[in-house]
Every structure is written in structure tokens, then in C-alpha cells.
């Protein structure tokens, strides 16, 4: 479902296939990487949730708002 929506919005096949390796892939921007990181850490809240380093990096790239 999400892959179909991404394609309709113009996302490339290369980036869709690279999602599982987003940390290593050069196809994603710094902002996309921090969004992936925040999402992953929040999703895995039982592992400790959002760490300070990720939070600080997100604020640095995205601002407080």
C-alpha cells in the first residue's frame, strides 16, 4: 500500500528498494536520514526510545518547531 502511494507521488524504484538499507545508502538526504532515525527509535520505544544524540541531530537539522 505505501509503496504504491510512494510510486504515485514520484518516488523512484531505487530509493524504494534501498529503504531497508537507508543507513548505508547514498540515496537519502541528511534530513531523510534523521527522519528515518527518529521514526525507528520511536517505533522501538522498548529499546529506550529516542536517544539524546538523535534528538539533538533532529533539532539541528529541522529546528524546534
Domains of the chain, each with CATH number or no CATH: 2-62 (1.20.1290.10)
Give the tens place of pLDDT for each residue, 17-65. 999 999 999 999 999 999 999 999 999 888 888 999 999 999 999 999 8
Q: Are 27 and 58 in contact (CB under 8 A)?
A: no
The grid coordinates listed for 65 are: 518547531
What pLDDT is attached to residue 65?
86
49 within 8 A of 18, measured Cβ to Cβ: no
Residue 29 region by backbone torsions, left for phi larger than 0, else alpha for psi between -120 and 50, else beta: beta
Q: At what angle do helices 52-62 and 30-43 cross, to 10 degrees?
A: 140
* pTM across the whole model: 0.81
How far is Cα 59 from Cα 32, in angstroms, rounded to an integer? 13
Does 1 score more than 90 pLDDT?
no
Residue with cell 504504491: 4
Amino acid at each position: 500500500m505505501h509503496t504504491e502511494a510512494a510510486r504515485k507521488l514520484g518516488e523512484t524504484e531505487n530509493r524504494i528498494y534501498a529503504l531497508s538499507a537507508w543507513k548505508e545508502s547514498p540515496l537519502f538526504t541528511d534530513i531523510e536520514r534523521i527522519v528515518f532515525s527518529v521514526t525507528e527509535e520511536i517505533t522501538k520505544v522498548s529499546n529506550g526510545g529516542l536517544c539524546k544524540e538523535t534528538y539533538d541531530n533532529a533539532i539541528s537539522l529541522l529546528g524546534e518547531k
